[in-house]
Amino acid sequence: MKTKRKIDRDELRPEYDFDYSKGVRGKYYKRLLEEGANVVVLEPDVAKAFSDSVAVNTALRSLLNLTSSTQRLTNHSSGRLRTAADFSR
């Protein structure tokens, strides 16, 4: 019967040994400012309304659909705002 080798779980593998003295602080900061980020931080009260990112995306897509359909309706208007007096005639 073969004996099993004892694995020391407290040690990291050599490929995970990183020399932090060679790290550069803010290396990608300037590029992030120029290109922008794809991270959006929600306010806490808004974040409570959504369970996850899928719910946020669904809500935003429905809002986009609503605005595009509403815009199609308003593109054909005369451009003049109607007041209550206009409706009483």
Residues 67, 53: Cα–Cα separation, whole Å: 21
Q: Is residue 21 part of a domain?
A: no
* Residue-range definition of the domain harbouring residue 57: 26-71
Q: What is the pTM of this model?
A: 0.41
3-state secondary structure the chain: CCCCCCCCCCCCCHHHCCCHHHCCCCCCHHHHHHHCCCCCCCCHHHHCCCCCHHHHHHHHHHHHHHHHHHHHHHCCCCCCCCCHHHHHC
Q: Is residue 46 part of a domain?
A: yes
Question: What is the total count of domains within the chain?
Answer: 1
Q: pLDDT tens for residues 32-80?
A: 888 888 888 899 999 999 999 899 999 999 999 998 877 766 655 555 6
Q: Is residue 64 part of a domain?
A: yes
pLDDT of residue 18: 80
pLDDT of residue 29: 87
Q: Is residue 83 part of a domain?
A: no
